[in-house]
Structure 1
Amino acid sequence: MKGNGSGKKETSLNDRLNSELLAFHTLVHTLSEKHNISFQQVLESIGKVRDKDKDVLVASYVLRDRKLGILQAVVKYLKEELNFSYHEIAAILNRDDRAIWSSHNHARKKSQERFVVKEPNYWIPVGIFADPRLGPLETLAFYLREKENYGFTEIGNLLNRDVKTIWTSYYNAREKLRGNDNNGKGN
């Protein structure tokens, strides 16, 4: 008896899904005719739309690759896995388009294979790398220590980096940010 109820739910779900897909197909077809572009071009345009309020996240696993620097790994991930343009990446990271192209080019030469994201993972907002005052590893160490309350050993394990390197990066970031906060306050 239980099988019959389950089959009904599956059929109902399939019916709803088919109905929604038909509505989506109709919408895409209408947009295609209205703007005189192909069905495929409409689908590609939909794929390029980005939710401006939504944080773009990078998997911590991507940052474990020691062949690549932190920034190179982030740029390679955004370009190859999320299909961002160089300009979009530059805007998110507050960097010059040419620097992003160069970073991606170097990353591709060092590591040609695509990322394989394995679980468990920690997802890091890419926007943290936009602060020009800090280097990428300094930014990451500071973020994970201050905002996520990770210990230095946890951060080192997460990023496949030596704990001393994480400690140094964190304290360098803290001093740089403290130095910038104190500028102009003494007079």
Structure 2
Amino acid sequence: MLNRDAGGIPYPLVTGHDATGIAATVAHLAELGHRRILHIAGPADFSTSETRAAAFRAACASTRRVTGTVVEAAALSVESGQQTMDRILTEHRNRPTAIVAGNDLVAFGVLRSLRAHGLSCPGDISVAGFNDIEFAQDSNPPLTTVHVPMQEMGAEAARVLLEAIETKAQEPVTVHLPVSLMVRGSTGPAPA
């Protein structure tokens, strides 16, 4: 398996170290003075959504300065990110000062929603994504995101598969590759 596990089925898995990426994002936002941070997670039945939401809760709890809330989006898409953020902006009186999106597509939807509501990023609300897709740095503003080493993950998955073919044995090993926070223009100091 690559990036997502198979539930309770013991297949080998190669993935990025999502918890480290979320922790780095929360720490970055906390350093910028953000205290009300919202995580827009993907559907709960995706292992990546579950891992990232749990990591977000743990990172917020460990800082003790941050109030973290998790909201589930219906899908990991631009449209779902926009719909979820539209709902947050109309229903919550104490809006968050920062959003940690479940992936970059959700983050782009959040940016679209902010523009539609006349809000600026990062002036009013900072936004961070996850995956560092190819055009993340080309958005306006350029998206702060967690870089996941997709090419290295593919190479490692191929190595694990070839080893299983060669040895005629498949171990349910999990390989976590390091991720890194790419700080760009979509995150800034918390509004006063």
Which band: TM-score by shorter chain? under 0.3
Higher-RCO chain (CA-CA 8 Å, sequence separation at least 6): 2
TM-score by length of 2: 0.24
TM-score by length of 1: 0.25
Bigger strand share: 2
Greater Cα radius of gyration, structure 1 or 2: 1
